[in-house]
Structure 1
Amino acid sequence: MTEVISQNPELLIISVVLQNVLFFIVTVGVFWAGTFVLRALRGKGVSGYGLGPLGFRRPRGGYLAAVFVGVLIGFGALLLSTVLNAASSLVLDRLGLPADNSAQAPLMDGITSWVRESPGLAIPLAVFAVVLLGPAVEELVFRGAIFGGLYRLFRLVTERGMRSQLAHDEQPRSSPWAGRFALVSAAVLSSVLFASLHFSPVLVVALFVLALALCETYRRSGSLLAPFVAHATFNSFAVIALILTGLDLIPTQV
């Protein structure tokens, strides 16, 4: 399979695009199916089929502010990742574990080779697949669906637990930790899943930290726009390095 990809790197880009399209269809399809079931059971008390609950809504503070914040977070995450990746590589070396990025190597080598062979086609498709489509779908899945869904679920469970406890108390007691517990639990679980599914031990710490930042960005803005811009900014530097390598403007991949 690796040999086929090295000989036809465009197949890898196409597979990445198709995979992301499939994830988008499945995520939205599951959301609509769940909405249909809830509306059938509860009637008009359930919101409609709009994608607002998945983060497709106007960000708090406006679109320009969300884009600005996203660029800052993406650039900051990139700088922090260089330190975390170096530390992770050192720890893995000390433990005798592989510290290379072999999981991402086929994609990176494929982009570089394709840019070298056909830059006019490869560059826009690589930017579309890795900088635009990939972050958009991953934010929908991991922040909009998984983090948002877990956050609402944990809040519902903790609030019901609080109401059950208050019903047995003579005097109501506030539990400010409940909302924080729901937030932290949802952010950690979704971020662990996000980092682990990239199948790269040397990047797992940096990706976990990035995912936590994206969860908080999504929670504060109420929209996927800011985390998408941050994610796209983060990915864009790697793609730029691959393109420059393919054009022989820099000697090695970064």
Structure 2
Amino acid sequence: MFAFGLTEPNAGTDVPGLTTTAVKDGDDYIINGKKHYISNGGNADIIVVYAKTDPAAGSRGISAFIVERDTPGLRIGEGDDKLGIRAARTYELFFEDCRIPAKNRVGDEGEGFKLAMEVIDRGRLGVAAMAVGIARAALDEALKYSKERLVANKTIAEFQGIQFMLAEMNVDVELAQTYTYYAASLKDKKGYRLSKKASTAKLFASEASNRVVQKAIQIHGGNGYMKKYPIERIYRDQRILEIFEGTSQVQKIVIAQAMLKPIKQVQEGIRV
């Protein structure tokens, strides 16, 4: 099992601001720093850790390293007690003079930021797929409940207000799934810059799933707030989708920058 050791307490979205360091010492590197919210961090056999090999170089000073679980100097904190996705454990990781061989460096020095962004693009497709699954599960639960719940000797599914909500939920699920599949298909194209499409899929699917889950809770009424109904857990699990692997606001930044890049190149006299 692997873990992706990037996020720090003061460097989440601001990846170039990470402060974990890897200092060359002969044929080794010595890593010092702290990571948090690391999925599988307490269970992984191997952690790919991102650290500054040149603190003055910003993003170009970040390198990636393989750190094995039993390496002296690596200390694993207690698992986080989270609102949702509780089966996906996250941990703090502490590196205290953690010595690893230089051969454990992934790629050249300074390539870590590029490697991390490639992983994050793929991760955003994964979150979009999670959003589709959660939204579809919420729709299934709402549809089932609406066919069973009786009011005035009618199932609530017979009321037009509920039907409109179900139709809106279905539209969000179908569009989120279609675009996520489309974006995922582009990953197989050699040399294709996936960032904009991955961010678009993540932004739309995660926010669509929020809308679907909100309506599903509403259809359940007070029962949707009770733990004995699956929608309660679905509601808690959904919320993280608009936060991790880049918040919705970060996705908008990525999309806008991709849209404006050709304009900027033309303004600077670069042939496009």
The structure whose residues are more often strand, as a share, is 2
Greater relative CO, 1 or 2 (CA 8 Å, sep 6+)? 1
- Structure 2 length as normaliser, TM-score? 0.31
Max radius of gyration: which structure?
A: 2
